[in-house]
A and B are shown apart, each in its own frame.
Chain A
Amino acid sequence: MQGVSAPREQAPPVISTSSTILNMREKEKYIEDFDFPFCDESSKYEKVAKIGQGTFGEVFKARARNSSKKFVAMKKVLMDNEKEGFPITALREIKILQLLKHENVVNLIEICRTKATLHNKYRSTFYLVFDFCEHDLAGLLSNVNVKFSLGEIKKVMQQLLNGLYYIHSNKILHRDMKAANVLITKNGILKLADFGLARAFSVAKSGQANKYTNRVVTLWYRPPELLLGDRNYGPPVDMWGAGCIMAEMWTRSPIMQGPTEQQQLILISQLCGSCTPDVWPGVESLDLYNKLELPKGQKRKVKERLKHYVKDPYGCDLLDKLLQLDPAKRFDADTALNHDFFWTDPMPCDLGSMLAQHTQSMFEYLAPPRRPGHLRHHHHAPAQPKPPQDSTYQDRVF
């Protein structure tokens, strides 16, 4: 209520009296001293090493100061160039991680802050604190000493699909499926990570399509509908990524490494056949279908080309179902989990004992580039950060 202003209010707010608000200095002191009951200081953890570069900041391995055994991953929220305060992408990730609590989804423990002091202009830096996972799938696959048996591959895929089933049931799209975002603990528990591009989705209401950005998903794992400009996509975008990752379990490097979006579409067509209304009804109405020069007359060779790597026929069949061009025909997580691949001998088996042979963490960030014919032994010193992947690789894997 505006009403008549009390004379008191017009008094200049110089010093705090019972009637005025705090002055600047007092407020700074207040902020510095306030012990936020729900937000601990990041100094309770001690950084050990940098282990990655997330969508919006660096990731560190850290140790809890009160227990030398407890390790966490701390993801710094980059705010330096933010005109609009705390980044909306970070808020999204936090919101989604708070919602998702599942064995196969990375667990957000808390959000920590640095103390606000004169030094940082009374602005804290924030860290998302996660349970630490020893490996990521890209790091494991780049190490030739890590060998997955068929049962172990099944276990990886089963956990990955379980995680996807859970997040999709919660109406969340991951939108950045790739081997580097699949973490694996030393006990062999798989965790989907990096929800920096994730968002909630809704089933499009009749006549009102969703308008999501299609500039998501690392190029090599990007499904054809996104490459063709679809903005009304859904869970199948993650299932395509699951297919790419599954194939990678055998090929050991990403199966389609296009340097550009156009090239990526060509690679997809060479493997999955041309995108035509015959195999994919409705593709003709996607934005870029007529604007791009698309390969014509390509035959689908998924099984034919992958069978050299994937000796298991059930595995080949599931890959075929996940790498469907038409998102409507692509298997969803539930159907994939019911596939015979997971229910035939050898059954999925625990990864713990295999991983126990490897005592060192394997992260893509720390690993040498994965290139066919260039697979190197695991190194012991952290490598230099890799240049951005999308521009470096032109060669096809197979």
Chain B
Amino acid sequence: MPYWYYDKKDLQNTPSFRDGINNDTENRYRKEGARFIIDTGSKMDLGYNTVATGVVYFHRFYMFHSFRTFPRYITACCCLFLAGKVEETPKKCKDIIKVAKSLLNEEKFNTFGEDPKEEVMTLERILLQTIKFDLQVEHPYSYLLKYAKCLKGDKTKLQKMVQMAWTFVNDSLCTTLCLQWEPEVIAVALMFLAGKLSKFEVVDWNGRAPKHNAWWDMFVEDITMELLEDICHQVLDLYSIQTQPSGGESPPLPPAPKPPKNEKKPPVTPPISASPAAPAKTPVKNGAEFYPYAPPPVAYTAPPPRLPPPPRLPMGLVYDAPPARFVASVPPPPLVPPPFLRARSPASSPPILSAAVIAIHCSDCVKVFSLCELRVTKPGRSQSFY
């Protein structure tokens, strides 16, 4: 079987890179492609599993081909088309193309060629061969729910934490994390992050054994704090990356020096608003499945909390009470697509936003917060932390 996980060196030396596309640009293409799959999928009422499977195909595909050979948006459509069939939620190719057309500007849609459907059909065969017909993909979502089931503590806080972690998993699709780590590891890391940010301290869990320092030791062996932090930062970086030289198939640029990770930056434009899906996006029936919740508008305008003292996320502002069904179904925690994935009533909902916005809104404090807080849990001190 092909091994679908790569180390950072491989992720830098990709076909696109060898084709003259620098890493930052490639990562932006990946992010845009993934976001486009998410937006198209959501607009077509496709569930999170289908969307996530499509995104994983997309990332894997570009480990073998260059973004210059295969423009990202049509590949994205093709990945979603195949994922729909694999996950038993098939959508007609022409419908996917129709939605794609509505989400893309003319110039981007022109990369689909003269006969978009035929292009997708040809591309599908290339995609299948590239991913070795390795169709079944696992995602962190199911692990998230499985792990949450074991954690003890305040139910409301737990729900908030899981909800937040879920959103991080959604957003993690825009990174190459699925090419680096198994879904179990990603689930642990993003639950850990959500736990930190939502102030949910896991003090006890079902199945605890003396050898366990932390709850995740029960599920994933030898997970280090460095690894957890690295994964969290890759997701958090999504929210603080500076507006890149925008534009599509721009010529390869010399790699721009990356800003230091925890350097303070003024809040940047939420990536979501720059996403191709942004224009006039209103919730469609169940279409917001992918976005567990939409933060109220106030989340934009509220100033980031001062730092220090204790960095606080404006949780109250950002997170609504979980929808009733969620409360009702816990305990026991949901096994099936959790109800918090339902769209809220269209009438009162603000434009759908990725949870990313929440973190962006105070991305700096998240950064600083996570950095300093994470340090506390460095091995050796984890005992006292809990």
Q: Which A positions have Cβ atoms within 8 angstroms of B?
A: 1-10, 13, 16, 18-22, 24, 27, 30-31, 34, 36-39, 83-86, 88, 91, 94-95, 98-99, 111, 113, 116, 121-124, 126, 205
Q: Are B90 and A1 in contact (CB under 8 A)?
A: no
Q: Are B129 and A113 in contact (CB under 8 A)?
A: yes
Q: Please name the residue on chain A nearest to B127 by beta carbon.
A: A86
Determine how close the nearest CB of chain B comes to the CB of A39; give it in whole angstroms. Answer: 4
Interface of B is mostly: loop
Which has the most chain A C-beta neighbours within 10 Å: B65, B132, B133? B133
Q: Please name the residue on chain A nearest to B111 by beta carbon.
A: A21
Q: Are B92 and A84 in contact (CB under 8 A)?
A: yes
Pick the contact of B274 from A3, A83, A95 — CB < 8 Å?
Answer: A3
Give the complex CA separation of A20 and B110 in angstroms.
13
**A–B complex contacts, Cβ < 8 Å, 6 sampled:** A5-B105, A21-B111, A31-B126, A36-B129, A88-B85, A123-B122
Pick the contact of B252 from A5, A7, A18, A124 — CB < 8 Å?
Answer: A18
Q: Are B247 and A8 in contact (CB under 8 A)?
A: yes
Q: Are B248 and A85 in contact (CB under 8 A)?
A: no
Q: Judge if B31 is at the interface, Cβ distance under 8 Å.
A: yes
Hey, what's the 0/1 contact readout for B100-135 against A, CB within 8 Å counting as 1?
000001010001010000001110111011111111
Give the complex CA separation of A86 and B83 in angstroms.
12
Give the complex CA separation of A113 and B126 in angstroms.
10
Determine how close the nearest CB of chain A comes to the CB of B156; give it in whole angstroms. Answer: 26
Q: Please name the residue on chain A nearest to B110 by beta carbon.
A: A13
**Extra inter-chain contacts (7) besides given A1-B271, A85-B124, A86-B124, CB under 8 Å:** A1-B275, A4-B246, A5-B248, A8-B250, A18-B252, A21-B68, A34-B126
Give the complex CA separation of A258 and B159 in angstroms.
56
Q: Please name the residue on chain B nearest to A208 by beta carbon.
A: B336
Q: Are A1 and B93 in contact (CB under 8 A)?
A: no
Pick the contact of A21 from B249, B276, B278 — CB < 8 Å?
Answer: B249
Q: Judge if B171 is at the interface, Cβ distance under 8 Å.
A: no
Q: Are B125 and A123 in contact (CB under 8 A)?
A: yes
Q: Which B positions have Cβ atoms within 8 angstroms of A?
A: 2, 20, 28, 31-32, 35, 64-65, 68-71, 81-82, 85-86, 90, 92-93, 105, 107, 111, 113, 120-122, 124-126, 128-136, 243-252, 271, 274-276, 278, 336
Pick the contact of B246 from A6, A83, A94, A95 — CB < 8 Å?
Answer: A6
Give the complex CA separation of A333 and B248 in angstroms.
58
Q: Are A4 and B247 in contact (CB under 8 A)?
A: yes
Chain A residues within 8 Å of B247, by CB: 3-9
Given A38-B130, A91-B135, A113-B129, A6–B248 Cβ distance below 8 Å?
Answer: yes
Give the complex CA separation of A85 and B31 in angstroms.
26
Give the complex CA separation of A19 and B67 in angstroms.
11
Q: Are A5 and B107 in contact (CB under 8 A)?
A: yes
Determine how close the nearest CB of chain B comes to the CB of A323; give it in whole angstroms. Answer: 32
Determine how close the nearest CB of chain A comes to the CB of B228; give it in whole angstroms. Answer: 28
Given A22-B68, A98-B136, A99-B136, A6–B125 Cβ distance below 8 Å?
Answer: no
Chain A residues within 8 Å of B31, by CB: 1
Determine how close the nearest CB of chain A comes to the CB of B190; give it in whole angstroms. Answer: 22
Determine how close the nearest CB of chain B comes to the CB of A50; give it in whole angstroms. Answer: 24
Chain B residues within 8 Å of A31, by CB: 122, 126
Given A21-B69, A88-B85, A98-B136, A6–B274 Cβ distance below 8 Å?
Answer: no
Pick the contact of A9 from B82, B107, B120 — CB < 8 Å?
Answer: B107
Q: Are A18 and B246 in contact (CB under 8 A)?
A: no
Determine how close the nearest CB of chain B comes to the CB of A58; give it in whole angstroms. Answer: 19
Determine how close the nearest CB of chain A comes to the CB of B132; give it in whole angstroms. Answer: 3
Give the complex CA separation of A126 and B124 in angstroms.
12
Q: Please name the residue on chain A nearest to B251 by beta carbon.
A: A19
Give the complex CA separation of A83 and B117 in angstroms.
10
Interchain residue pairs A-B with the least CB separation, the first 3: A6-B247, A3-B246, A38-B132
Given A22-B68, A27-B69, A99-B136, A1–B28 Cβ distance below 8 Å?
Answer: yes
Give the complex CA separation of A122 and B124 in angstroms.
12
Chain A residues within 8 Å of B124, by CB: 85-86
Q: Please name the residue on chain B nearest to A9 by beta carbon.
A: B248
Determine how close the nearest CB of chain A comes to the CB of B67; give it in whole angstroms. Answer: 8
Q: Are B128 and A20 in contact (CB under 8 A)?
A: no
Q: Are B122 and A84 in contact (CB under 8 A)?
A: no
Chain B residues within 8 Å of A121, by CB: 122
Q: Are B85 and A86 in contact (CB under 8 A)?
A: yes
Give the complex CA separation of A2 and B32 in angstroms.
8
Q: Are B128 and A5 in contact (CB under 8 A)?
A: no
Pick the contact of A19 from B249, B271, B274, B278 — CB < 8 Å?
Answer: B249
Chain B residues within 8 Å of A27, by CB: 69
Give the complex CA separation of A184 and B82 in angstroms.
34
Pick the contact of A84 from B28, B85, B107, B246 — CB < 8 Å?
Answer: B85
Chain A residues within 8 Å of B243, by CB: 1, 3
Chain A residues within 8 Å of B92, by CB: 84
Chain A residues within 8 Å of B35, by CB: 1
Give the complex CA separation of A369 and B117 in angstroms.
44
Pick the contact of A122 from B82, B122, B133 — CB < 8 Å?
Answer: B122
